[in-house]
Structure 1
Amino acid sequence: MSGLGLDRALEPLRRLAGEALFARVAGPNGPAERVRIHDSPGTRWFGADRPIRVVHGDASMFVGGLRALLLQSLHPLAMAAVAAHSGYRGDPWGRLQRTSTFLATTTFGTAEHAQAAVDRVRGIHQAVRGTADGGETYHAADPHLLAWVHVAEVDSFLLAHRRYGQHPLDQAGYDGYVADTARVASALGVVDPPRDQAELAERLASFRPELRSTGPARDAARFLLLTPPIPLPVRVPYAVLAANALASLPPWARSLLRVPDLPGLEGPLVRGAGRCLVGSIRWALAA
């Protein structure tokens, strides 16, 4: 069978897999939201040539997103806020769908829609406050906590794209990506967010003394890695995703999460399986 014939034969399978995956990530309103985000007329925060569109439009975000959640959990106050207010256990798919819609809106949507999305998140953050197990108080609108969530997320998306992206950027491109994300971070309330890779690495390192191995962080890691609420048929692909998210974390982060030092985790077999998985997701979601 020719390549074109094979593509035609597989098209129903691709469409079915893509629709199921998109429904999980974007939710029941996903198709309507996609039209609103991409087709609404108006100026955008980011032009079509900006690096943020390349990174956030790539299937490598699946690896980067899971890595970001694991890394973010290591800040005890950020994790306390998530554990108490996000509903990540009771409604993990809803949280994923809200996050993906926010990222898509701020990256691809009109400036009006992007600002409205930011305003909604800022309103939610104002109400999220409490006391962590150690007695420290937290507030989701705290610029310091917002900065941690931001740099952990950007570092994760950037690293995943560099490893698994269909069209990896050069150094200037990734510096541009960090600068683009600073636009969104500033709107959310982050003070002086990093604007290139060197500043990103410096800001990440500055948080290192605050990161700890806590019960909530370890519980979140076990939930995300071992007992996610996913159908049995996708357990193997998810295990590949989880292995690559783990492998991309620095060793100190895996140690704080108390993840066993699995043989071959950082080896070519896991990395190759990750590329195949991301490529399969990219194929399924192709328009």
Structure 2
Amino acid sequence: MRNYLTEYRHALQHTFTGTSGTPPEWVPRLAEGDDTGYHLPGSAVWTVHGSMTPIVAGIRVLLMQSLHPGALAGVYEHSGFKEDPLGRLAGTIRWIFTVTYGSREAAQAATDRIRKLHHHVRGSYVDGTGAHRDYVASDPELLRWVHVTYAESFVTAHRIWGGPIPGGPDQYVREWAQAGTLMGVENPPSTEAEVHRELDDWYASGVLRSDERLTETVAFIRHPPLNPLLRPGYSVLFAAAVASLEPKYRELLGLRTAHLGPVPLPAIPAARVVLAVVRLALGRHGPSELAARRRLERLGWPD
């Protein structure tokens, strides 16, 4: 059992960060810096991001973000997600954890690195109304879509598979709005109700689109090139992420909840078991959080 958990932990670490056994080089640097950062122990962001629910939320948000043809075009044409999907995942996790646990200077530097890459991501797409539109990754509309779908997915996943959020879901949305501001989102939503209202407006606008490119992307998200040790658990988590989506989004994505013939499968409770195994393998406190705590202790927080 111990050997299996070690192999499983290394497979998870390599999937999330590109390294196993030891953290990637950027993680210890979260202990550096001369300020406490945007988020602190006990915050809604630390609570959500320090749990296992972001694993399901990450699958869910990839599906949601793919519904906007502009966001999908940027990923499909420029990110190399097929050639190096785990590298792209590791880069995203690096930004999220740096904003969550790093100093403000580190969070700004990580964001500047991504925004610089966005300047080269441009092209055109056809939206759900048939209109041809040009885009760059820094378009306010696309930045907002990415931010809002992220907030909605992380709150939803934590409500289903996590514990209470300090201050409730609205507090998480308010706190994570800082990440949106760093990325250039103007006046990001500050409540869960605002998040859902914006998503409903996008859906009603007809901009979201279901096409062959979306079908191909969803198939890739369903069956990514994972270590064989992780595939059974991932299948459960994918099914759970699909089950957590609103039916109208599942329909656009061409997905349905997991069934064995006419019998629905219990994907949501099964995901709790998978996440418990992941927690057992990885431990309660990740290296990013521990590095941040060393910085905070050095700075004398709390006084």
**What's the TM-score, normalizing by structure 1?**
0.89
Work out whether 1:246 is the aligned partner of 2:265: no
Cα distance, 1:207–1:26 mapped onto 2, change above 3 Å? same
Alignment partner of 1:138: what SS? strand
Q: What's the CA shift for 1:240?
A: 0.2
Distance 1:231 1:55 in 2: 26
Work out whether 1:270 is the aligned partner of 2:263: no
Q: What's the CA shift for 1:205?
A: 1.3
Distance 2:256 2:141 in 1: 31
Aligned pairs, how many? 274
Contact 1:247 1:266 in 2 (8 A): no
Work out whether 1:192 is the aligned partner of 2:183: no
Q: What's the CA shift for 1:278?
A: 1.0
Larger deviation, residues 104-113 vs 252-261: 252-261
1:22 is aligned to 13
2:153 is aligned to 156
Larger deviation, residues 231-240 vs 102-111: 231-240
What runs of 5+ residues in structure 1 fail to find an aligned partner? 1-9
Q: What's the CA shift for 1:13?
A: 4.2
Larger deviation, residues 24-33 vs 68-77: 24-33
Q: What's the CA shift for 1:16?
A: 3.8
What runs of 5+ residues in structure 2 fail to find an aligned partner? 286-303
Contact 1:26 1:100 in 2 (8 A): yes
Q: What's the CA shift for 1:263?
A: 3.1
Work out whether 1:137 is the aligned partner of 2:108: no
Contact 1:23 1:30 in 2 (8 A): no
Alignment partner of 1:130: what SS? strand
Alignment partner of 2:119: what SS? helix
Distance 1:115 1:279 in 2: 33
Work out whether 1:110 is the aligned partner of 2:113: no
Distance 1:120 1:75 in 2: 24
Equivalent position amino acid for 2:233 in 1: P
Cα distance, 1:175–1:260 mapped onto 2, change above 3 Å? closer
2:212 is aligned to 215
1:55 is aligned to 48
Contact 1:129 1:137 in 2 (8 A): yes
Q: Between Structure 1 and Structure 2, which shows a larger proportion of helix residues? A: 1
Deviations 1:189-227 (A, max 9, x none): 1111001111111111121122121221111001111x3
Distance 2:155 2:71 in 1: 21
Contact 2:15 2:226 in 1 (8 A): no
2:34 is aligned to 42
Contact 2:239 2:257 in 1 (8 A): no
Larger deviation, residues 25-34 vs 87-96: 25-34
Equivalent position amino acid for 1:99 in 2: T
2:168 to 166, 170, 173: 173
Equivalent position amino acid for 1:14 in 2: L
Distance 1:261 1:68 in 2: 17
Cα distance, 1:157–1:71 mapped onto 2, change above 3 Å? same
Distance 1:48 1:232 in 2: 35
Q: What's the CA shift for 1:235?
A: 2.1
Distance 1:266 1:155 in 2: 29
Give the share of equivalent positions with the same residue, in percent: 36
Contact 2:74 2:122 in 1 (8 A): yes
CA RMSD of aligned residues (A): 2.1
1:4 is aligned to none
2:73 is aligned to 80
2:86 to 82, 93, 105: 93
Equivalent position amino acid for 1:263 in 2: H
Distance 2:64 2:55 in 1: 15
Cα distance, 1:260–1:46 mapped onto 2, change above 3 Å? closer
Contact 1:55 1:61 in 2 (8 A): yes
Q: What's the CA shift for 1:32?
A: 2.7
**What's the TM-score, normalizing by structure 2?**
0.85
Deviations 1:71-98 (A, max 9, x none): 1101111111110011111110000000
Contact 1:175 1:196 in 2 (8 A): yes
Cα distance, 1:266–1:147 mapped onto 2, change above 3 Å? farther
